Amino acid sequence: MGKAKSEKAGTPSKTKSGASRPYPDFNLDDPKLPEEIDERALKSGGYPYDNKLKRKPYEEQLQALQLELIKLQDHVQAKRERVVVVFEGRDTSGKGGCISRILERINPRHSRAVALSKPTDAERGQWYFQRYVAHLPTRGDMVLFDRSWYNRAGVERVMGFCTEDETARFLRDAPEFEALLVRDNIHFFKIYLTVGREMQLKRFHERQHDPFKRWKVTDVDIAAIGKYDDYSRAEADMLRFTHTTISPWTVINANDQRRARLEAMRVLLSSLDYAEKDASAVGAIDPKLTESGADYLARAYPPS
Backbone phi, psi, residue 15, to 5°: -80, 180
Instruction: Identify the band that residue 21 occupies on the pLDDT scale cut at 50, 70 and 90.
Output: low
- Higher pLDDT, residue 17 or 169: 169
CATH number at residue 62: 3.40.50.300
Q: Has residue 2 got a pLDDT over 50?
A: no
Range in 209-223, 242-256, 282-296 the model is least confident about: 209-223
Predicted local distance difference test score (pLDDT) of residue 221: 84
Rounded distance between C-alpha atoms, residue 64 and residue 283, angstroms = 10
Beta bridge partners of 143: 84, 112
Tell me the three state secondary structure of residue 282: helix
Does a structural domain hold residue 21?
no
Predicted local distance difference test score (pLDDT) of residue 276: 96
CB 26 within 8 A of CB 208: no
| Pairing label, strands 82-89, 142-146 | parallel
Tell me the three state secondary structure of residue 280: helix
| Pairing label, strands 142-146, 111-114 | parallel
Rounded distance between C-alpha atoms, residue 170 and residue 172, angstroms = 5
Does a structural domain hold residue 3?
no
- Span 73-77, average pLDDT: 98
Does a structural domain hold residue 28?
no
Q: Has residue 15 got a pLDDT over 60?
A: no
Predicted local distance difference test score (pLDDT) of residue 240: 98
- Span 146-158, average pLDDT: 97
- Span 256-266, average pLDDT: 98
Backbone phi, psi, residue 286, to 5°: -85, 110
Does a structural domain hold residue 75?
yes
Find the DSSP H helices in the chain.
Answer: 6-10, 35-40, 55-78, 95-103, 121-124, 130-133, 155-158, 164-183, 197-209, 219-225, 228-242, 257-271, 279-282, 293-300
CB 137 within 8 A of CB 111: no
Position 269, amino acid: L
Beta bridge partners of 253: 194
* Chain mean pLDDT for the chain: 92
Measure the N-to-C terminal CA separation of the chain; round to a whole number of Å: 42
Does a structural domain hold residue 159?
yes
Predicted local distance difference test score (pLDDT) of residue 303: 87
Does a structural domain hold residue 97?
yes
Does a structural domain hold residue 174?
yes
Domain that holds residue 241: 37-300
- Higher pLDDT, residue 122 or 220: 122
Among 17-21, 220-224, 287-291, which range has the highest average pLDDT? 287-291
- The residues, any chain, with a CB within 8 Å of residue 256's CB and separated by 6 or more, are 42, 47, 49, 52, 53
Instruction: Identify the band that residue 84 occupies on the pLDDT scale cut at 50, 70 and 90.
Output: very high
Instruction: Identify the band that residue 177 occupies on the pLDDT scale cut at 50, 70 and 90.
Output: very high
Does a structural domain hold residue 17?
no
Range in 10-14, 48-52, 82-86, 130-134 the model is least confident about: 10-14
CB 262 within 8 A of CB 62: yes
Predicted local distance difference test score (pLDDT) of residue 46: 95
Count of structural domains, the chain? 1
DSSP label at residue 44: G
| Pairing label, strands 249-253, 290-292 | antiparallel
Percent above pLDDT 70 for the chain: 93
Percent above pLDDT 90 for the chain: 87
In this predicted model, what pLDDT tens digit does every residue of 187-197 receive, in sequence order?
Answer: 999 999 999 99
Rounded distance between C-alpha atoms, residue 174 and residue 157, angstroms = 15
CB 172 within 8 A of CB 244: no
